[in-house]
């Protein structure tokens, strides 16, 4: 909420500046404001921040998929189709906020700075950063990849929001509840947090399980599944794009006191990348608000770091297209199997009555699924990595920590054959690539036909 108020305040300031300039007779607003020729009324009422504006106003967004999830508040939903009420929820979500998964993520930059400190080659700022890294590493010690208190709270809030918004599903007397997750600790504990919150309200038998047997449709972590390992030209395209935005030299000069030492001992871009990754992860831990590393970077460097990581996620998990070849064109990839499973649950739910089914995994399957379903335009297919932010493909909007995709089914009664479905992405009503006279509500039959036809097309 505070971020929204900040954005609104910034918008008001800009509008007042424009009005002042107009009253002073300066004519059209100069390009110094970044709004030359802007229609004031249109801007004040309809302006939506660009990706760059969002990131520079709220630096936590620059963490990309490591951004801490903030549940939507005071969202007004479109009225349900006349006479229909929700009776089932099928969700697919990412685990909550967690520590970085490997000690090497913390140790690598710490060792570089500690080595320089041992030969008295750090600046005062470099010594400060070394102390901060020691504190951050100590907090994360032996908690590699584990769910944090922040992550647990996110999952609890998601459960409460669902129960508040669709109480018809969470019937205390007749309610079916199921949950599946991967076996890694953060996914398993995220599932437990969801279920415990539901159990506070609903007394029902719960089927829940965590198993590597679900990896066939929940886990995309294997490196062999990355597009980089299937398409060397895609990898080369990303590396060429990424190199344009490498600017670690300035940061190194602020941390190390000897230019010769930097040249001989420090990989400046790798160190910059490592520090930026840690900077983004702090918001997921109890150190958030007490220590930061974002002050090391200029706004331009923050923007460039985000562009590079966003492009990496898009090429590997989005709908990257090169000369007519698209990532999703791989026959029966994980996201295809996952979507088939979710569609199957939509059939099963109609025979059970009030039902909620939760699935918890990670971003490497969440991003491909949202891209495959083309939710909110996330099916964008391009090889123009430069245009991703302009076209709205932003990883932190799609898949922050605790990202969640919710299908809510509506009908008049168990005999109603015209079941409707609404999809929520991170708690907000989403648009789908199929027609509907009642969007964001869609006929379940149209929904299934569209996606089954799309899935079948990859098998041919």
Instruction: Give the pLDDT of the chain (460 residues) as one tens digit per residue.
Output: 444 444 444 445 444 443 433 443 433 333 333 333 333 333 333 446 899 999 999 999 999 999 999 988 777 899 999 999 999 999 999 999 999 999 999 999 999 999 999 999 999 999 999 999 999 999 999 999 999 999 999 999 999 999 999 999 987 666 788 888 888 899 999 999 999 998 888 777 677 776 666 666 666 555 445 666 567 888 899 999 999 999 999 999 999 999 999 999 999 999 999 999 999 999 999 999 999 999 999 999 999 999 999 999 999 899 998 655 555 444 457 888 899 999 999 999 999 889 999 999 888 889 999 999 999 999 999 999 999 999 999 999 999 999 999 999 999 999 999 999 999 999 999 999 999 999 999 999 999 999 999 999 887 6
CA angle 410, 416, 417 (to 5 degrees): 95
Q: With beta carbons less than 8 A apart as the criterion, state whether 152 and 396 touch.
A: no
Q: Who's near 334: CB < 8 A, 6+ residues apart?
A: 216, 217, 218, 219, 220, 225, 365, 368
pTM equals 0.86
Residue 193's SS3 state is helix
Q: In Å, how far from its chain's centre is CA 258?
A: 39
Torsion of the alpha carbons at 290, 293, 296 and 297, rounded to the nearest 10: -120
Q: What is the DSSP string of 125-189?
A: HHHHHHHHHHHHHHHHTT-TTPBPHHHHHHHHHHHHHHHHH-TTTS-SSS-EEEEEE-SSHHHHH
Q: With beta carbons less than 8 A apart as the criterion, state whether 46 and 129 touch.
A: no
How many C-beta atoms surround the C-beta of residue 143 within 10 A? Answer: 15
């Amino acid at each position: 909420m505070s971020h929204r108020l900040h954005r609104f305040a910034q918008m008001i300031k800009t509008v007042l500046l424009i009005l002042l300039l107009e009253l002073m007779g300066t004519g059209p607003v100069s390009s110094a404001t970044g709004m030359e020729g802007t229609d004031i009324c249109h801007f004040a009422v309809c302006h939506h921040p660009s990706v760059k504006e969002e990131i520079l106003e709220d630096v936590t967004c620059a963490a990309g998929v490591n951004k801490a999830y903030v549940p939507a508040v005071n969202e007004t939903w479109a009225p349900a189709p006349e006479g229909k009420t929700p009776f089932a929820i099928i969700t697919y979500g990412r685990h909550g906020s967690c520590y970085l998964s490997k000690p090497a993520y913390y140790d690598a930059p710490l060792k570089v700075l500690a080595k320089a400190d041992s030969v008295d080659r750090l600046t005062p700022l470099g010594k400060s950063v070394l102390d901060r890294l020691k504190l951050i590493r100590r907090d994360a010690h032996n908690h590699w990849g584990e769910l944090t208190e922040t992550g647990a709270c996110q999952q609890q809030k998601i459960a409460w929001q669902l129960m508040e918004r669709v109480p018809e599903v969470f019937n205390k007397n007749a309610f079916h509840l199921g949950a599946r997750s991967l076996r890694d600790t953060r996914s398993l504990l995220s599932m437990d947090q969801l279920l415990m919150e539901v159990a506070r309200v609903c007394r029902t038998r719960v089927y829940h399980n965590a198993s590597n047997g679900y990896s066939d449709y929940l886990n995309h972590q294997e490196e062999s599944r990355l597009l980089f390992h299937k398409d060397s030209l895609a990898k080369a395209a990303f590396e060429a794009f990424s190199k344009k935005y490498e600017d670690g030299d300035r940061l190194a000069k602020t941390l190390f006191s000897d230019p010769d030492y930097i040249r001989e001992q420090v990989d400046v871009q790798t160190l910059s990348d490592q520090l930026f990754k840690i900077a983004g992860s702090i918001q997921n831990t109890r150190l958030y608000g007490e220590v930061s590393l974002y002050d090391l970077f200029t706004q331009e460097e923050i923007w460039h770091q985000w562009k590079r990581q966003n492009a990496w996620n898009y090429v590997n998990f989005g709908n990257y297209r090169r000369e007519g070849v698209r990532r999703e064109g791989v026959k029966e990839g994980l996201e295809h199997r996952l979507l088939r499973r979710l569609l199957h649950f939509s059939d099963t739910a109609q025979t059970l009555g009030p039902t909620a089914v939760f699935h918890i995994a990670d971003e490497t399957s969440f991003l491909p699924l949202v891209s495959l379903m083309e939710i909110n335009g996330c099916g964008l297919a391009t090889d123009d990595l430069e245009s991703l932010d302009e076209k709205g493909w932003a990883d932190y909007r799609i898949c922050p920590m605790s990202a969640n995709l919710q299908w809510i089914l509506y009908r008049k009664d168990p005999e109603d054959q015209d079941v409707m479905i609404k999809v929520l992405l991170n708690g907000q009503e989403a648009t789908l690539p199929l027609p509907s006279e009642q969007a964001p509500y869609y006929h379940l039959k149209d929904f299934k036909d569209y996606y089954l036809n799309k899935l079948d097309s990859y098998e041919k």
